Copies of this chain bind each other. A is one copy, B any other.
């Protein structure tokens, strides 16, 4: 169980094969061994590291963020507080994103509603959505 192929590593870490190679290219994986036939060989520590990267990516961190996180965790004494600070900073980013999404949804709902009232009844010769979108830039 100590020597896994890239296919197995991908499956166990929740990545695609291409993504595993990509993370190695990006320097997020260190010291991946090679079998005599040239194929990559993975051990469990590599799988854990891949999962870590994958999960961070799923959480919305960039590759560079992950690099920093790994730097903090690779250090002799993992800088937990730095990691926490990055998490907190990212939460702030998420809140901004959610606010934007909420605003967009309101805009689109309003647009669709207007259309239902004015267009679907055949009352308007020109789709009001089109006018709404093109007339004035919001804000």
Chain A residues proximal to chain B, CB less than 8 Å: 13-14, 48-49, 51-52, 54-56, 58-60, 72-73, 78-81, 83-84, 87-88, 90-91, 94-95, 97-98, 101-102, 104-105, 107-109, 111-112, 115-116, 119-120, 124, 126-130, 133-138
C-alpha spacing A48/B23, complex, angstroms: 44
- With both chains docked as a complex, state the minimum distance between the C-beta of A121 and any C-beta of chain B, in angstroms: 11
Contact at A81–B130, with CB atoms within 8 Å?
no
The A contact surface, by secondary structure, is: helix
Give the 8 A-B CB pairs with smallest separation, nearest first.
A80-B127, A52-B134, A80-B119, A84-B115, A78-B127, A73-B130, A48-B134, A14-B137
**Given the contacts A81-B119, A98-B102, A129-B84, A91 and B73 also touching, CB distance less than 8 Å:** no
Among B13, B101, B112, B135, point to the contact of A98 (Cβ < 8 A).
B101
